[in-house]
Copies of this chain bind each other. A is one copy, B any other.
């Protein structure tokens, strides 16, 4: 891209910013105005103009004087990985509390919660063992919650693409072996999250299914479209009453290699060594920061991300970005000069990754205290460029949210879809039934390349993308706190 026509691009992009709407009629596109003017076709012109200016202030503050990026640098770089029960998780709790106190929120407090404490251990090794004893080392990692191997575990391997295929195998084909779940992502799906959902049963329940059939271990293809050497961890669930067998993820390259070698030699063996273990539960905390509503202090809007992260990297996109965006959303409201009419809470949830105890406790306390929750927002899909929000709500509430689209569209944050809010806020539904559970939605094409791997590091986060997300969330909160639902 060169120079002389960029003045033209300048003019063009100002229009495009307000007009990147699917199927937008060109007449509308040409009429689209910068964010400081209110959309002409809205009935409540004056209020809209004030709201449009308010959002512009929030984005100016976020992009010019944002604090989320430096906060994330500290959380990911200085504290680092912070799986529930770890010393780093405790450091993250203290840092979150101190950061929100420093930001001057009205009230900052902890909610105690007992969390699982799983540790990976020092040793983690996987090898394909050929006919003549030739060993090929491959990239593996224990799945979260897995039992260890108790020394070396060596056995044959049977590859399956589905539970159905596993169930149809004769018992002898499975008993005493590793079951190797190797159904790849469906790469032609446009949303990687859908591919994750459709392949995810292998990780979540594969080891349990394999154990039922007498397998001694489970190997699971990493949940990603990427072809590389990063194994992807993540929780697996055992049947509490059934046998627990060691469960490991293979990188996609390792899975492809194992599959290829199996075709040539069905009798090859796999040797796995993992020292992971589950220790007694530990005491931990959700961290809550609150700005009291000026008019309706008993009506609550929650915005949150999860403070815990997998142990292989720094938990940058999963979910350091959600944590710093949630704190930033409250800070932006104040820094831009707004006192919310309803009470707004930033919640840094503990233990989303392997138990959701923080989310459950937050909901339990909300019910116990008979709190009135208007809406809850969660950011847990990465810190990439905004697309909008996914919402669980009644149609009338959706219609109300949809009216705010024109205010958010200049920021590419006007996408509104029926969808899942988030794991942390989900328990609020049964507990206090907020009018809307809202998931922040952003570009997701890169997310599963690094999700739950050693590559989920600070350098993968772009400052502007992160800040646009925090300001989008703050903008929605501004509207929710002003108008309710």
Contacts and interface: CB of A to CB of B under 8 A. Distances in A.
Interface of A: 1-17, 19-27, 29-30, 32, 35, 59-60, 63-64, 187-188, 190-194, 196-198, 200-201, 203-204, 225-226, 234-235, 237, 318-319, 352-354, 356, 380-381, 385, 387-388, 390-391, 395, 398-399, 401-406, 408-412, 414-420, 423, 426, 441, 443, 445-446, 449, 451, 462-465, 468
A16 B415 contact: yes
A193 B13 contact: yes
Given A26-B399, A196-B9, A446 B465 contact: yes
A426 to B, nearest CB: 6
B10 A198 contact: yes
Contact of A402 (B11, B23, B318): B23
Contacts of A443: 385, 443
A471 to B, nearest CB: 10
B27 A395 contact: yes
B414 A3 contact: no
Nearest to A452: B1
A129 B376 CA distance: 56
A354 B60 CA distance: 35
Contacts of A196: 6, 9-10
Given A23-B416, A24-B416, A405-B22, A5 B426 contact: yes
Contact of A7 (B200, B410, B418): B200
Given A17-B191, A22-B408, A387-B20, A5 B423 contact: yes
A441 B12 CA distance: 11
Contact of A468 (B30, B60, B190, B423): B190
Contacts of A201: 7
B235 A3 contact: yes
Contacts of A352: 1-2
Contact of A21 (B3, B226, B415): B415
Contacts of A22: 20-22, 24, 388, 405-406, 408-409, 414-415
Contacts of A226: 463
Nearest to A322: B1
Nearest to A398: B26
A191 B237 CA distance: 44
A258 to B, nearest CB: 22
7 contacts: A3-B235, A8-B197, A15-B419, A19-B417, A24-B416, A29-B418, A446-B465
A405 B235 contact: no
A3 B225 CA distance: 17
A26 B403 CA distance: 10
Contact of A380 (B1, B194, B237): B1
A188 B21 contact: no
Contact of A14 (B16, B191, B395, B446): B191
A23 B409 contact: yes
B63 A26 contact: no
A134 B383 CA distance: 43
Nearest to A397: B26
Given A19-B418, A21-B23, A197 B445 contact: no
A23 B380 CA distance: 23
A10 B402 contact: no
Contacts of A197: 6-11, 13
B1 A319 contact: yes
A76 to B, nearest CB: 16
The CB with the most chain B CB atoms within 10 A, among A10, A200, A463, A465, is that of A10
Contact of A1 (B6, B9, B318, B416): B318
Contacts of A445: 385, 462, 464-465, 468
Contacts of A13: 191, 193-194, 197, 419
Nearest to A192: B464
A235 to B, nearest CB: 5
A200 B9 CA distance: 11
Given A2-B234, A2-B235, A188-B63, A418 B10 contact: no
A245 B244 CA distance: 74
Contact of A410 (B26, B190, B417, B449): B190
Contacts of A21: 21-23, 414-416
Nearest to A412: B190
A60 B190 CA distance: 9
Contacts of A190: 17, 35, 59, 410-412, 468
Contacts of A64: 187-188
The CB with the most chain B CB atoms within 10 A, among A4, A381, A406, A411, is that of A4
